[in-house]
Structure 1
C-alpha cells in the first residue's frame, strides 16, 4: 500500500470530524501494471489510477476480479482510503456509534469512521448490514457526502424521495451562484447503471474515480422570516486538486514499447526512462496517464476511450470514380486525412510523423489488420496502424514453465520454437488455428474465429462460400490457404469443414471436420475358422493389423451382405488389393466380437460415412505434405502403416506406423499400397512396397566450450567433460574417446548415454542469419551477402545461441537477431538438402567487441592501441582539402562517432552513416590555419551493442 506524504490531523472527540489532507500520489506497492486480468476490466482508466494511488488493490492472487460485487463494509473502507489514505481501521475502533451489527466485521473501524462523519447512517434501528451488497444509490450517497454534500439539505435523509435526490446529484452537473457550470465529471459518468443495481468492483472504481474529480461546493445560507435558504454556492477545489496533490490527466499517442515493456508517448512527455508500462496492442492509439505535482503517478498507460478507431477494408482504391475510393470511405466514416503530424505504425513499429496519404490506405490487403485512429475526436486521422500476423496451427499440448524469478514462458507446438514470453495462449489446445506476431521479445497470439458448414461454392480465387455465405480470401503468404486449397477439401458439398477467419472476418484456412477417428479401419492379414460344424460351434477368427501398428487375432461375429462372413477364406480370388490382405472397417459388439465390413474401390456406407479404398502406385509421400499423393488429403489423424510382403511365406513383416501428415514416412523413390478414405479424407495409408528413408533427426549433437578440459579415469577408461551440451541441454558428457571442443559435433551414444563415436555435425555451416514469417534465412557461404538459403523449422525444432564463453542458451526462433556476422549451423534430417527443414539451429554469436573495427584516415590505418599522445600520423593534407575517415567491419548494433580537435578545424561534416555491411565513410574539410602548419587530432569512437568501447586516434599535419 502507498506511503502518505502528509498525515491527517484528525480531532477525535465525542464525534470524529472529517478532515482533509494532502495524499501524495506516490507509487503503490501493487500497481495497475501488476494486475493479471487487466484485459477483463471495462473501466481501465479508473482502476489504473485508483490502484496506482493506493485507494484500491488487487486480490492476493494478482487479479482484480472486476465483476465481483462490493459489499457495504468494503465500500466504507474504500471511502475511508479515499479520504485518509493508508490508515488501519483499528485507529477508529474506539469511536462510539449506535450500530449493533458491526462488532464482528473486519471493517469495524472503517464503518465507524464513515458513520461519525455522516457518510453512512444505518437503517435507524442500529443496523448497517455490512455483508450485504452495496447498491449504486447507496454508494452514490456515501460518495456525495464524503466530497462535501450536506445530506440533510440535499434531501438524502428523512425524505421520501431520498433515492431520487441522490441520483439527481450523482448524474447532473453542480452549480453555484446564479449560473450553471459543467463539472469535470459526474459520479456516474461512463456508467450505465440503475439505482438499485449491486455495485461491481469495476463500477465502484469508476464512481470513486469520478468523485476525485467532481468539483465540490460550499453553500451560504440566509434567512427569510426565520426560514433558512441557500443564497449561493462557493466553488471548492476537487479532491484530485487538494487531497491528491494536483492529480491530473495527460494524453498522447503510444508510439513505442521497448524490450522492457516501457512506453513512449508522443504528444505527452513519456519516454522509456520514465518506466511506465505500455501494451503494444495500443500502438498508435491515444492513451492516458496521470501525474501530480511531484511527477508521474501511473504505472501503465491505458487506452483513451474517447478516441475513435475505424477498421480499414483491405480493398480500398485511390480512385474517385470507384465506390471503394479511399476518400469516399473516409467521408462516410466522418474522417479526413491530416496534412502533417500523423503516425503510421506497421507491425508495432512507428515511423516518424508525416502526412498520411490516400495511397497509404489503398490496397492494404485482406491479410492485414489495419485501422485509422482519430485520437482527439476532431475528425482528422492521427494514426494508421497496420499489423500482419502469421497463421499457424497448434499441433500439440501447450506447456508453461516458471523460472526462479517467477517469469512464465510458454511453448506452443507449431507456433513457437521453444519457450517464449507470450500473450493470449491461455485457452489454446491442439488443432486451434492462431494468428501471431512477435514484438519486443513477446509473442502476441490471437485465436482465429471459425465457422462450420459445407462448401457451397467459390468465386474464382477471391472468395469461398460456406452454406451460401461468402468469405473473402485472406492472404495465403502468411500461413493461410488459397481458395483452390480450400475448395479441394470437398467439391461435392457433402462434408463439413471448419473455416478459420482472420481478424477482419476473411477466410484464412479450412479443415475438414475430423470424423476419421471415430471410424475404425484395419487390414486383415489372415483368416481362419476354429471348431466343428457338427457341434455348431464354428468360430471365425481374423488376424488384424490396426491403424496404430498393433497386430491382434480377434473373433469375428456373424455378418451381413458386405461383411466377411464366417467360413470365408483368403484365396487369390478374394484378394481386394495387393497381396494377401483385406481392407475392412469394423465395429465391436457387446461380446467383444468384431463385425468386419469389406471395403471396395467404391463407396461403402459405414455409420453414415462413405468409406472406400484406392490403390496407389509410385506414390509421392513425404512428411508435412497434406496432398500427399494423387490428390488425397490427409490431416493430423491420418495413420500411415508401412509393411513389406514376403512372397516366400505369404506374410507381411511387422509394420512401422506413424500418425499425422507431419509424421508421414518419406520415400526416396516410389511407394505402392492403398489409401482408405472416410468421406474423402485419408484415414489410413497402407504402404506395401517402396524404399523407405528415415526422415527423422535422431542424431545427437554436442557442444563443449573450448575452455573445458576433461578429466580421465584410467580405471574406467572414460573422459568426463564437466560442462557440455547435448542437443542444447547442459550436462556432464562422458565419453570413451577424446572429444572435439569449441565446435558442434555429431556423436553416437550407447545405452548408458556414453559417447562411443564422434563425427562432423553433418549440417551446413553458414555466416549470417535472420528469421521472419516462419522462415530461417541464412547466407549460403562463409562470407556474408553472397547468396541466401531458406529453411522452415520442424514443429519441435530448437534454436540455440552460443556466446563468446561457449555457453548455450535455447531461444525462440522469433528471438533470432538478424546479424550477418553470426556463425550458423543448420542441422536436420539426413535429407535436409531436399526438404530444407531444420531440426536444430546453432548460432555462434559474433564477438560484439568494438575492437573488430578497421579504421583509416585518408587510407592510413589507425589502430585501437593508439592514444592521444601516441596518435598515428595520417598524412599532411592542405587547407580546404577533404579528409575521409573510413570505418569497416563494425558489428550490427554498434555506433560510431568521429570528432576532430576543433581548435584547428571547425568544419567537420559527417556525410554517411553505417551501411548494411558495417561500413561508413565520414568526411570533413580542412580549414585554418592561415599560414604555416598545425596538428589536428582525429578521434574515432566505436561503441558496441554490449557497451564495449574502443577508441582510435590519428593525427594530421595540416599545411596552409
Structure 2
C-alpha cells in the first residue's frame, strides 16, 4: 500500500495562490470579492483585470468563468483598455452604418471600436451584438489593438484569415494558456487571460513607404513599451523574498526584474521601502522565503533619446490584490545524497565549481540558501542537507539555467496516537494531533496547514516555517517484513526491497521490534522508515 501526497514545495505555491499566504487587507483593491473565484482557472488574470476596471463581475457577485463572451461585451472590454473611464457617450454621434446596434447597451462602445477599425460587422450592415465571439475573432481584435493593420496582415477578406490571425497571435503570446480552439466560443475565463497576455505584449507601429497609388505598409516597428504600460502605466514587478524569520523588523525583499525590457528602476514612490516596512497593503509570509512573487504596479516612464528603450520608471501604486507567488523553475529536488535529475550539468551544492556530483545541477555565482524558510549560510545549508531524509530543492529564479536558490527542508516525523480532532471556539477553529509534539493540545487552526481528517496510526511529516506549521500525510508501505542486517544499514526487507531507518530520527524506529511480521511502515521523503505499526 502506498499513499501519495503533495510535496511541500508544490503545496506552498498552491497555498500561496489560493489560501492567502500573501494577505491583502480589505479595501486594498478596487474589485469586490467574486463568490466563484475558486472555479476560475486564470485567477491572476481575472483579479488584475478587475483591479484595472477592464472586466467586472456579474451583478450576482459571480464571475461566471464558463460563460461565453458576446460581441457587445468584447467591444466594451476593448473600449476599457483603450479609453479607460472616458464617457462612451462622447462617441454617440459616430455613424457606423450598422443597423442592429441602436438602443443596445453597448452601442457607444461598439461605435468607438468600429470607428477605429478594431471590430468589424458581420455583413449586410449588421454587427450581431448578441452573437458569441470565438477565439480567433477575439485574437484579431486584440492584434489590431496592439497596432497591426487587419487588411495588411490578412485578417480580413483573405481565405486564410484564421491562419493569419493564429500566426501573429502565437508570435505575440496572446494564446498562451488559452485551452480552446480557434472557432470555439471564447469563455469569460479565457477572455481575461487573453487580455492579460495582450497587456504584456509590446505594441507595434506600422512602417509606411510611398508606392504607386499612395502609402503602403512595408513592415512594423516593435515599440519598447507594452500595451498595459501605454494604457494603464502597468508594470509587472518581480521581487525576490529573502529572510522572513526575524522576530523584529520586516522581511528582506529585493527586486529581481521588471518589464518592459531595458528599463532602469526609479523607485521614487518608495515601493520597496513600503514592502520592507509592511505598508504596501499586503504581508509577505515566511513561507515565501527563497522564492519570488510578482506585483502589478502603476508607473510612469520616459524613453531614451533614441526612443528605443525605457530610460526611467517611477513606481506609483501597487495593485496589491494581484500579488501572488510564481513557481520557480525547479532544476532538481531530492533527498540528501540522491542524484537530482535536472537538466544542468553535475556541479556540487557546496560551491559553484566544486567536484561533488551528489546534486546534478549547476549553481549560480551567488546562490542564496534557506533552511525551513530561514536564510542560512552555505555551511549551515550543507549541514542540514547532510541529514538523510532532508529535502533539497535547487531553484532557478532568474531563468539562466543555474540554481540561485537552495532550499533545504528538514521535517519532523510522528505517528498519530488518535484521530485528528477539530472544534470551533468563538468562531475560531482549533485542532489537535494526538501524539505529535507541540500539537497534541488544542492549537489555533489558522496556524496549522493540512492534516485534517488523518486517523490513528497514520504517519505524518511536519515542518514549521515562521508561525505556520505544515502537516502532511506520509507515504506508507505494508506487508510481511523480514528483519535483516546489511552493510548499508538496512533494517528489514519487504517484497524483495530493503529499507533503512530514516535519518530524521534521533533513535530507534518507533514501533519496530526487530522481529519479522506484518507491518505498516511510514516513510520519509527519501523512502526510509521513521515509524512502524504492527498488523495482527
For the criterion TM > 0.5, the same-fold answer is: yes
Partner deviation per Cα, 1:830-889 (whole Å, 9 max, x = no partner): xxxxxxxxxxxxxxxxxxxxxxxxxxxxxxxxxxxxxxxxxxxxxxxxxxxxxxxxxxxx
**Residue matched to 1:151:** 150
CA distance in 1, matches of 2:249, 2:227: 32
C-alpha contact (below 8 Å) 2:483/2:491 kept by paired residues? yes
CA distance in 2, matches of 1:328, 1:271: 38
Count residues in correspondence. 451
C-alpha contact (below 8 Å) 2:290/2:369 kept by paired residues? yes
CA distance in 1, matches of 2:481, 2:241: 45
**Residue matched to 2:7:** none
**Residue matched to 1:217:** 204
Q: 271, 283, 286: which one pairs with 1:277?
A: 283
CA distance in 2, matches of 1:330, 1:412: 42
C-alpha contact (below 8 Å) 1:97/1:112 kept by paired residues? no
**Residue matched to 1:364:** 387
Q: In the alignment, does 2:398 pair up with 1:376?
A: yes
In structure 2, relative to structure 1, the CA distance for the partners of 1:193 and 1:357 (3 Å cut) is: farther
In structure 2, relative to structure 1, the CA distance for the partners of 1:138 and 1:454 (3 Å cut) is: farther
**Residue matched to 1:485:** 511
CA distance in 2, matches of 1:27, 1:206: 22
1:524-603 superposed matches below 5 A: none
CA distance in 2, matches of 1:309, 1:343: 15
CA distance in 2, matches of 1:235, 1:60: 39
State the SS of the aligned residue for 1:454.
Answer: strand
In structure 2, relative to structure 1, the CA distance for the partners of 1:305 and 1:438 (3 Å cut) is: closer
C-alpha contact (below 8 Å) 2:482/2:492 kept by paired residues? yes
**Residue matched to 2:470:** 444
Shift of 1:256: 1.9
| Structure holding more strand per residue | 1
CA distance in 1, matches of 2:475, 2:254: 37
CA distance in 1, matches of 2:242, 2:170: 32
State the SS of the aligned residue for 1:217.
Answer: strand
**Residue matched to 2:135:** 136
In structure 2, relative to structure 1, the CA distance for the partners of 1:258 and 1:224 (3 Å cut) is: same
212-221 vs 384-393, greater mean Cα deviation = 384-393
C-alpha contact (below 8 Å) 2:348/2:358 kept by paired residues? no
Shift of 1:284: 0.4
CA distance in 1, matches of 2:111, 2:247: 48
Shift of 1:378: 3.5
CA distance in 1, matches of 2:77, 2:114: 14
In structure 2, relative to structure 1, the CA distance for the partners of 1:376 and 1:218 (3 Å cut) is: closer
TM-score, scaled relative to structure 2? 0.65
CA distance in 2, matches of 1:37, 1:370: 37
| Structure holding more helix per residue | 2
State the SS of the aligned residue for 1:242.
Answer: helix
**Residue matched to 2:362:** 335
Shift of 1:473: 4.6
CA distance in 2, matches of 1:44, 1:257: 29
1:252-651 superposed matches below 5 A: 252-256=240-244, 264-267=252-255, 269=272, 270-275=275-280, 276-291=282-297, 292-293=299-300, 294-299=315-320, 301-305=323-327, 307-315=329-337, 333-336=360-363, 338=365, 340=366, 342-351=367-376, 355=378, 359-360=382-383, 362-366=385-389, 368-391=390-413, 393=416, 395-400=419-424, 403=427, 409-414=429-434, 415=439, 417-422=442-447, 424-425=449-450, 428=453, 430=455, 434-445=460-471, 447-448=472-473, 450-451=475-476, 453-457=478-482, 460=485, 462=490, 467=495, 473-475=501-503, 477=505, 483=509, 485=511, 491-493=516-518, 497=520, 500-503=522-525, 507-509=529-531
TM-score, scaled relative to structure 1? 0.39
1:760-799 superposed matches below 5 A: none
In structure 2, relative to structure 1, the CA distance for the partners of 1:86 and 1:308 (3 Å cut) is: farther
In structure 2, relative to structure 1, the CA distance for the partners of 1:463 and 1:119 (3 Å cut) is: farther
**Residue matched to 1:167:** 166
In structure 2, relative to structure 1, the CA distance for the partners of 1:470 and 1:257 (3 Å cut) is: same
Q: In the alignment, does 2:51 pair up with 1:71?
A: no
1:781-930 superposed matches below 5 A: none
CA distance in 2, matches of 1:421, 1:334: 37
Shift of 1:486: 5.2
**Residue matched to 1:673:** none
Shift of 1:194: 4.6
Shift of 1:99: 7.0
Q: 190, 209, 232: which one pairs with 1:244?
A: 232
CA distance in 1, matches of 2:121, 2:245: 50
Flag structure 2 segments of 5+ consecutive residues without an equivalent: 1-26, 257-271, 301-314, 340-345
CA distance in 2, matches of 1:100, 1:137: 23
State the SS of the aligned residue for 1:421.
Answer: helix
CA distance in 2, matches of 1:441, 1:102: 60
**Residue matched to 2:24:** none
CA distance in 1, matches of 2:181, 2:203: 24
Shift of 1:450: 3.7
State the SS of the aligned residue for 1:210.
Answer: helix
In structure 2, relative to structure 1, the CA distance for the partners of 1:307 and 1:139 (3 Å cut) is: same
C-alpha contact (below 8 Å) 1:464/1:483 kept by paired residues? no
C-alpha contact (below 8 Å) 2:135/2:185 kept by paired residues? yes
Shift of 1:169: 0.9
Shift of 1:154: 1.7
Shift of 1:159: 1.7
CA distance in 2, matches of 1:211, 1:86: 19
In structure 2, relative to structure 1, the CA distance for the partners of 1:400 and 1:465 (3 Å cut) is: farther
Partner deviation per Cα, 1:142-173 (whole Å, 9 max, x = no partner): 2112222222222212221111111111122x
CA distance in 1, matches of 2:478, 2:99: 64
CA distance in 1, matches of 2:392, 2:60: 36
Q: 218, 242, 247: which one pairs with 1:231?
A: 218
C-alpha contact (below 8 Å) 2:372/2:410 kept by paired residues? yes
C-alpha contact (below 8 Å) 2:385/2:391 kept by paired residues? no
C-alpha contact (below 8 Å) 1:286/1:307 kept by paired residues? no
CA distance in 1, matches of 2:116, 2:478: 64
Shift of 1:505: 5.4
C-alpha contact (below 8 Å) 1:257/1:263 kept by paired residues? yes
C-alpha contact (below 8 Å) 2:384/2:410 kept by paired residues? no
1:735-774 superposed matches below 5 A: none
CA RMSD of aligned residues (A): 4.9
State the SS of the aligned residue for 1:211.
Answer: helix
C-alpha contact (below 8 Å) 1:48/1:298 kept by paired residues? no
1:2-151 superposed matches below 5 A: 28-30=29-31, 46=45, 49-56=48-55, 68=66, 70-72=68-70, 75-85=74-84, 98=98, 100=100, 114-115=113-114, 117-121=116-120, 123-124=122-123, 126=126, 128=128, 130=130, 132=132, 134-151=133-150
In structure 2, relative to structure 1, the CA distance for the partners of 1:167 and 1:482 (3 Å cut) is: farther
Flag structure 1 segments of 5+ consecutive residues without an equivalent: 1-25, 173-184, 318-322, 512-632, 634-678, 681-960
Partner deviation per Cα, 1:454-492 (whole Å, 9 max, x = no partner): 2455665656666556666545649xx96572577x944
In structure 2, relative to structure 1, the CA distance for the partners of 1:229 and 1:111 (3 Å cut) is: closer
C-alpha contact (below 8 Å) 1:410/1:422 kept by paired residues? no
In structure 2, relative to structure 1, the CA distance for the partners of 1:224 and 1:324 (3 Å cut) is: closer
C-alpha contact (below 8 Å) 2:146/2:198 kept by paired residues? yes
In structure 2, relative to structure 1, the CA distance for the partners of 1:261 and 1:305 (3 Å cut) is: farther
